[in-house]
Amino acid sequence: MPDCSVVEKSWGELSVEELYAILKLRTDVFFVEQRIDEEELDGRDLEPATRHFFIEDGRGVAAYLRVIAGETTDTSGRPNAPLVLGRVVVRADRRGEGLAQVLIGRAVERFGAEPLILHSQEYVQRLYASFGFEPVGLPYVEAGLPHQSMRRPGRPAGTTPAPV
């Protein structure tokens, strides 16, 4: 497997080149490939608590995800999670290599003591379930694509994460 070193940074730590490569990847996949017409630059990347995880190669950023501060309840008033994992994306030429699993594993390792929530596109639910995420609420359509909210409970204090 090619190098899968994960970089984790806050907004202020990102170089201009890293930021460009992240935004290029997100735009190429979400707008061009998936034709999602929702707002991509939502201001959440800039927040001090947001953590950016990515894997680089000779062509730039090959895979990316972010973890942002969440809300205490979802739109139905159900308990949510303090952290939201999102914007999970892998460049087309690197799909199938396990890069998303590496990034998700690192985020769960880093933040697994806290409950996490995500909003999964339907076709990748099994990937998230393999990291302990479980469906919450009913499936829904967002940006024209079927989605399912999923939640992962936090680890009890004093326990160590399971190997990924």
Domains and CATH numbers, the chain: 6-113 (3.40.630.30)
Buried b (16+ CB within 10 A) or exposed e, 79-117: ebbebbbbbbbbbeebeebebbbbbbbbbbebbbeebbb
Q: Are strands 116-121 and 83-90 parallel, antiparallel or unpaired?
A: parallel
Average pLDDT in the chain? 82
Radius of gyration of the chain (CA): 15
Tens digit of each residue's pLDDT (9 = 90 or more) over 21-70: 898 888 877 655 655 656 656 667 778 889 999 999 988 899 999 999 87
Report the pLDDT value the prediction gives residue 99, as an integer from 0 to 100: 95
Q: Which amino acid is at 31?
A: F
Tens digit of each residue's pLDDT (9 = 90 or more) over 87-111: 899 999 998 999 999 999 999 999 9
- Model pTM above 0.85: no
Structure-token pair, residue 17: 């080149």
